[in-house]
Each structure stands twice: as C-alpha cells, then as structure tokens.
Structure 1
Amino acid sequence: MSTPNEYPGPEQSGSQPPVGGSGSQPENAPQNPNPGYQAPPPGYQQPGYQAPPPGYQQQPYQQQAPYQQQPQKPAGDTSFQMPADWPKDMKGVMPANGFAGLFSTGQLPQLLKVSYIIWLVTAGIWLLFTVLGLIFSLIALGAQDNSLFGITIPGSGAAMRAGGVKGIIVSIIALVLIAAVLVCIMKLKEGMQWARMALSVIAVLSIVLAFLGGGSGLLGIVATVLMWLPESSAWLNARARGIA
C-alpha cells in the first residue's frame, strides 16, 4: 500500500515548473563566478609584468650543439725553443752560487734530478779513467824502448811515445769537457737552456773520445735523453718565461 507522498500528485493549479528542467538554469544564462570574485578592470596588468616593446619579435629556438669534450693539453709548454739565454761573459757562465751546491739537486723536476745525478756519476767515472790514462801516457812518453813496467809491448819505442802524446792530448780534452760538464749541470739547475744544449754537444763529443780512449761511454747519452723529455722541457721553458 503506497503512501500519499511516495509519488507526486498531479500538477496543482498555480504552480510553475522550473525552466529547463528541475533545478537547472537557462542555457543562455551566464555562469556565476565564485562568491566574492571581482573581474579585473580593463587594461589591468599583473604586478611585475613588463610588456614587450613595440616591434618585438621572439627569437626562433636554436638547438645547441651537443657537448664535445676538448682534448686535454699537456701540462706546460714542451715545445723546442732555441736557447735565448746564452752567456755574454764569463760571469754568466760560472754558477751563481759557486760549486758549493754541486751535490744538491735543488728544485729540479724528477727527470732532471735523475739526469743531474747521472751527469755527476759520469763526470766522476770519466775523471777517474782520464787521470789513469794521463798517467800511462806520461809513462809511455818517457819510455826509451818498447817495454812498460817490464812488459814488452809490440812496436818500437817511438810508437809508444807517439801513443803517449796522443793519450796526453785526449786526456787534456777530456779534463776540459769534464770541467764543462760540472759548470753546465750547475747552470742547468738554474734553468738555463743553453746549458742543456751544451751538455748535449758534450755527450756527442764524449762518444767520439770514447773511440780514442777518453770518453764517458753511454751514461752521458742517457742523461742527455732525460733532459729532452717533455717534463724536463716544460720546466726549462717555464723557467725561461720566469713563471716556474
């Protein structure tokens, strides 16, 4: 059994159905904004906004090139440079502090330290054999026959005396080069590029003297190669520019 309120009864006289359906607004009716909302006045601009100037055109977007890693450059300048610091007088040749620091490597980089030590050893060995050769050359120069210390040597006494003269000349040249080595390694420690060039020439001359019995052998060549490696060249070039 249904109650009277379950179904709406017939439309009563005086009632008007809502327009556009139950509870709906007309189709052309404007939608109401949020309560309390007020539309901005004409010409309103948001604070902080700056309009673009007249004639402004937006630049087209340009895609950036992909990042490419640049090749790393070696630390320091390792290029070959002709020495510009040749000494102008004897004062420029001699070490600034004398030979007191002969056995000190100072602030040399590792490779130049090794080269410096090899040059010291080379000079010491070279000096020893040069002195021994000089002694034997003097004895041979004074020999009257072809015997030396009771040992008969093939050839005449004149040939021995000629060999003694040659040995003395070679020994004198070797002593001069040994002194030059000591001076040049001290100047190399001061960063002088002319000293490296001079040591390279001495190394070549020592090989020539080795065939005559008064050279230093291969130690000087090893020390010379170490002086021309990139680490050594970079240090000398930096000292030449006054930044080391």
Structure 2
Amino acid sequence: MFLVTGLPTELKVSFWIWFVGGILGMLGGMLGMLASLVLFAAAPGAATLVLLLMLLAAAVGAAQIVLALAMKDGKHWARLGLTALTGATLILAVANAMMGVGQGGNWATFLISLAATVLLWLPNSQAFFTAARSGNTSSE
C-alpha cells in the first residue's frame, strides 16, 4: 500500500504530499466536527454549518487519500481527480480572500497542492502514466 518503488521521483514526492495532506485533512475535519459540538449550545445554526463544513473537509481528505493511492498505481483518472482538487483549493483560497476570512492557510494549501499537481504532469510522470495505460510498468 505504501510502496513507491518503481515510481519516478516526481510521483513519489507527489504521492506523499497528497497522502499526508489527505490524512491531515481527515484529522482536521474530524477534530472540527468534535469542536462544533460545543458550538451547538450557543449557536445551533452556526454549529450545523460548521459541522457540515468539517464533514466535507473529512470527506475531501478521504478522497485525496484514495486518489493518491490510485495515482500511485498509474490510474490516469486519479491524476485528473487530484488536479481537480487543486482547482477547488484555488477557488476556496480566492473566495476566502474576497470575503476577508481565514488567515492565509488556504493559499498555503493551494500552493502545496499546485506543487504536487505539477509533479503529476512532468515528463517522467507522463511516461509512467503512459506505460501504466499500456501495461508496461514494473513494480519491483
């Protein structure tokens, strides 16, 4: 599951960025869900929104893990999914900047996701996915 032998260095780095980011996203979402329970006593409406957002964060983290594992196996659809997640982080960063909320964490998340995404599309990575599509990869 965690073996990255046979992957180009670019994909090894990208895999670990996506995988660890997914774990952190899931944990943050779950901790946020627990924290939102306290908010129910004071502001049930706001607590419901926070709870839903934290659930979404945990689900995105889980999806990120699944996509990273599939990407490691040479699945092109997983690479596209991770690229789409990077687009979503850009939209969230812009939305937060326009609303004047947050502390810049969304921009850091976007930049890290962008770096991991660029690694997915470099020539060595392209060659790996092309070989995987034609069944010519070795996982030794």
1:190 corresponds to 2:73: yes
Higher relative contact order (CA 8 A, sep 6+): 2
Give the match for residue 23 of structure 2.
124
The 5 Å alignment of 1:49-68 reads none
- Return the letter of the residue paired with 1:168: L
Computing the radius of gyration from Cα coordinates, the structure with the larger value is 1
Identical aligned pairs, as a percentage? 32
Per the TM alignment, residue 122 of structure 1 is displaced from its structure 2 partner at its CA by 1.0
User: Structure 2 CA distance, aligned partners of 1:180 and 1:137?
Assistant: 22
User: Structure 1 CA distance, aligned partners of 2:16 and 2:113?
Assistant: 11
The 5 Å alignment of 1:11-22 reads none
The 5 Å alignment of 1:162-173 reads 162-173=45-56
In the alignment, is the contact (CA less than 8 A) between 1:127 and 1:175 conserved in 2?
A: yes
Structure (1 or 2) with the greater helix fraction: 2
- Structure 1 gap ranges (5+): 1-100, 144-159
User: Structure 1 CA distance, aligned partners of 2:38 and 2:89?
Assistant: 24
**Number of residue pairs the alignment of both structures matches:** 127
- Structure 2 gap ranges (5+): none
The 5 Å alignment of 1:17-166 reads 101=1, 103-143=2-42, 160-166=43-49
Q: Which of 105, 109, 126 is matched with 1:217 structurally?
A: 109
1:243 corresponds to 2:136: yes
- Return the letter of the residue paired with 2:119: L
Change (3 A) 1:110 1:229: same
In the alignment, is the contact (CA less than 8 A) between 2:8 and 2:125 conserved in 1?
A: yes
Q: CA-to-partner distance for each residue in 1:22-56, whole Å, 9 max, x for gaps?
A: xxxxxxxxxxxxxxxxxxxxxxxxxxxxxxxxxxx
Change (3 A) 1:208 1:167: farther
RMSD between aligned residues = 2.4
Give the match for residue 60 of structure 1.
none
